Amino acid sequence: MAVVGAGSWGTTFAKVAADAAERNADDGTICLWARREAVAAEINDSHTNSQYLDKIRLSQRISATSDLREALSDANVVVLAVPAQTLRAQLHEIRDDIAPGAVVISLMKGLERGSDARMSEVIGDELGIEPAQIVVVSGPNLAMEIAREEPTASVVACADEEVATRIATLISAPYFRPYTNADVVGVEIGGIVKNVIALAVGICDGLGMGDNTKASVITRGLAETTRLAIALGGQLETMAGLAGLGDLVATCSSPLSRNRTAGRLLGENLSATEVGEAMTQTAEGMKSAHAVLDLARRNDVEMPIAEAVVGVLDGRLTIEGMARQLLGRDLKSETNISRESD
């Protein structure tokens, strides 16, 4: 297995795969690509990645390199854990180095700005591979908790059930329980939109609002996510599962969430530019929010929370104006799951 990206989630996923190999008495190895040589050297010498995972020990099955082609050599499973907006350029660079027939796993939760493409669509487009070779892993995936081996369930989605089962087996560690799902669209949309909703919840934190407010945003955010997923061909059941509700709750409620943290800073009256400068890791919702709203508009899906978040990010809407805009909407039935806003 090659894991492209040695940030918190990429490194944690490599750890999960290595620990699963130990559990299954598998002789598989994992090569982790790090952009910086110093990170690769620390992983190889000390078996830690202290910038992202503190002192957590990594399996000796994991090796690291700053040479991307070396990492991909002979890998029959390629895991992508890079920022969503850099994916296409990175794939264009390495597509000839990925082995024919390799399964490509996306850990990314974003939409490509400009094309509004999901990450699985970008992978298929750039690599020219079939959907049966593309897997999406999503769910409540707060990296530090998983790296600390706190029990976690997740979702492995693929159009081919056998491939999904194979990958689920490869990453079934004592503390990491994967479930399979054929609804790739729903799984991806759940992971994408929850980042935008987490920004809104973080804004509530920054404003000092209470749990009633945040619970309301989470619940209505799930309704928005569900409308968009269904409009794109996703399944209602997926939104009630780990990749929908589960991921949304984790990202909106945990102080480990980058998107909630970014939202809190926005709520404390930092500009989007200032928030970006203050964050040490990418808050994907800030990058994908515009694409989410554009995708919704092209599919006639109203998403008032996403629209308000984008207004704040663009500086067109104040934090106080965001609250007034959301609370001043026309009264509707709560149970409406049509494309129109409720």
| Residues with active-site annotation | 194
Strand pairing category for 176-181 and 152-157 = parallel
**Among the listed residues 304, 307, 297, 313, the one whose alpha carbon sits nearest the alpha carbon of residue 259:** 313
CA distances from 3 to 85, 273, 337 (A): 18, 30, 38
* Distance between CA atoms of residues 170 and 180, nearest Å: 12
Taking a C-beta distance cutoff of 8 angstroms, is the pair 314, 306 a contact?
no
Q: What single string gives the DSSP state of each residue in 133-183?
A: GEEEEESS--HHHHHTT--EEEEEE-SSHHHHHHHHHHT-BTTEEEEEES-
The type of residue at 298 is R
* Distance between CA atoms of residues 170 and 172, nearest Å: 6
Beta-carbon contacts of residue 342 (< 8 Å; ≥ 6 apart): 223, 332, 333, 334, 335, 336
b/e map 241-269, b = 16+ CB within 10 Å? bbbbbbbbebbbbbeebbbbbbbbbbbbe
